[in-house]
């Protein structure tokens, strides 16, 4: 036996199945295959093999009970039905229901999309009222515009008056020079 840390533990915990257990499993498999073969034959010839089916079904019931006992759930596992909430199950849909759903249902929008659409509608409504002059800002703009128009009109009138005065002054000056020169 080797000394030190180089010992091998391979094969230490190996377990082998008994030949009796192997034989029992093989026999059960043969019975199941016979039963399946009989079941397939009896489905085509139900009237002829009716009595044989009853015997086989009684044997299969006893086998099912024995396999249920072998694979019995431990603890509360048999009481709790577990279903994965993340699993998406495919549901068959009819074409008629799909068409009506598409026509009737409006597209589901997220909160942000709804708010964005509401903002756009509000902006369009505000611009419409502003163009009609019904908003406070439009009224203030129109008041400023009226004041500016009035100021421009006063400035235009003042310029015209000054221009007339200059023209009058030029006419008087030319008339004085003509008089001084002795013409007419």
Rg of the chain over Cα atoms, rounded to whole angstroms, equals 53
Q: Record the tokens describing residue 60, joined without a space.
A: 């299969």
Please report, for the chain, the start and end positions of each structural domain, with discontinuous segments joined by +.
Answer: 20-64, 111-181
* Of residues 61, 83, 64, the one with CA closest to residue 72: 64
pTM of the complete model: 0.34
Q: Residues 62-112: pLDDT tens digits?
A: 444 444 444 666 666 667 677 777 877 777 777 777 777 656 656 688 999
Name the residue with tokens 């006063």: 154
Mean of the per-residue pLDDT values of the chain = 78
pLDDT at 138 over 80: yes
Number of C-beta neighbours around residue 56 at 10 A:
19
Taking the C-alpha atoms of residue 119 and residue 106, their distance in angstroms, rounded to an integer, is 19
φ/ψ (deg, to 5) at 132: -80, -10
């Amino acid at each position: 036996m080797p000394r030190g840390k180089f010992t091998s533990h391979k094969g230490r915990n190996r377990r082998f199945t008994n030949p009796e257990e192997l034989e029992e499993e093989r026999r059960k498999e043969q019975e199941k295959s016979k039963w399946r073969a009989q079941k397939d034959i009896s489905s085509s010839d139900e009237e002829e093999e009716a009595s044989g089916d009853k015997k086989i079904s009684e044997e299969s019931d006893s086998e099912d009970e024995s396999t249920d006992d072998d694979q019995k759930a431990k603890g509360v596992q048999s009481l709790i039905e577990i279903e994965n909430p993340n699993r998406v199950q495919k549901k068959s849909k009819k074409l008629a229901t799909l068409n009506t759903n598409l026509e009737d249902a409006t597209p589901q929008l997220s909160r942000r999309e709804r708010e964005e659409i509401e903002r756009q509608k509000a902006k369009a409504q505000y611009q419409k009222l502003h163009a009609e002059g019904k908003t406070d800002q439009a009224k203030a703009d129109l008041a400023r515009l009226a004041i500016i128009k009035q100021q421009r009109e006063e400035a235009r009138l003042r310029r015209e008056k000054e221009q007339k005065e200059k023209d009058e002054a030029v006419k008087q000056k030319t008339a004085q020079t003509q008089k001084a020169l002795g013409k007419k």
